[in-house]
Every structure is written in structure tokens, then in C-alpha cells.
Amino acid sequence: MMMRIGQGYDVHRLAEGRPLILGGVKIPFRQGLLGHSDADVLIHAVMDALLGAAALGDIGRHFPDTAAAFKNANSVVLLAHVRELLASNGYCVCNIDATVIAQQPKIAPYIPQMRQNLADALQIDLACVSIKATTEEGLGFTGMEQGMAAQAVCLIKTQEA
């Protein structure tokens, strides 16, 4: 069995007239994240971590923002596709640890559903998904509520025959 580590990062600008989707959960907020898909920074960071661990490129390679097929795409569906890519290359997910970086809104009440959404899409146990949130104390673009970011690390392993 071979184990591999991956890390991912994503950032999106906040904008009026967009829903705020994090971890596949629609969160009530005055702004949403701007992007070609649903702009779910959390899931995008997780996808990049997984793809990187398997040396399969990044989400831009697999889900380009120039492709109409991914316009307003549900990132939970894209994450399930990443799991299928990993499986077709002989890998399965061991665990995910992710952090959302945002001044507002407070996302703690939504973390249980986010964890469940990721666990379901990746077909792993809920205990294998960790999601945390932090602010930047009013500093930088996230602290000034201009955008949100997320970081993720993952461990994958070769599937047993």
C-alpha cells in the first residue's frame, strides 16, 4: 500500500446577487462567492488537494472555467467525479482536513452538514472529514470581507486489490 499527501487552496471574491455555498451548504448571507461554478471554495480546495496527491493536475485542468458544462456547476457533484478519477487511478481517500478562512458569516452551525456532504461525495466515513473555520482578525482581503479562502490537506492510499 502506498500513501500520498496532497494540499489545496482556493479563493473567491464575494459579490452581490450570488448564493453563498460552502461545503455544498447554502448559507444565508448578504453576498455569495463569485465564480464560474458555484464557487464553493471549501470543496475546490479539497478537490485540488486530492488531485494533487494523485498527481492528476488541478481542478482547472478537469473542470475549466471556459467550459459551459461547468457554468454554475454543483461542486459536490464535481467532488464525486474527483473521487471517481482517483478510483480509476487506483486510489481511495483516507482523510480530509480543511479550513475555511472568512471574517463573516460564522459557519460553525453548518459544519456538520458540510462534513456529511464531503463524506458522502467521497464515500468515506464522516470521522475522516474535518472542517474548521477561522477569521483573519480584520486583516487582508478575507478580513475586510472582500472574499473567502480555504485550505485543505488530504491523505490518499492505493486501493487494495
Q: What is the pLDDT of residues 25-81, one digit of tens each?
A: 999 999 999 999 999 999 999 999 999 999 999 998 988 888 888 888 899 999 999
Distance CA 154, CA 49 (A): 6
Distance CA 55, CA 39 (A): 23
**In which band, very low, low, confident or very high, does the pLDDT at 160 lie, cut at 50, 70 and 90?**
low
Domain ranges of the chain: 3-158
- Contact indicator for 152, 48 with CB cutoff of 8 Å: yes
**How do beta strands 25-27 and 3-15 pair?**
unpaired
> For residue range 105-136, what is the model confidence (pLDDT) as tens digits?
999 999 999 999 999 999 999 999 999 999 99
Interhelix angle 75-88/41-53, nearest 10 degrees: 10
Which CATH number does the domain 3-158 belong to among 3.10.20.740, 3.30.230.70, 3.30.1330.50, 3.90.105.10? 3.30.1330.50
- Helices first, then strands: H and E counts in the chain: 5, 7
- Contact indicator for 102, 135 with CB cutoff of 8 Å: yes
Distance CA 78, CA 15 (A): 22
Q: Is the predicted pLDDT of residue 95 greater than 90, yes or no?
A: yes
Task: Name the grid cell of 35.
Answer: 465564480
- Contact indicator for 49, 154 with CB cutoff of 8 Å: yes
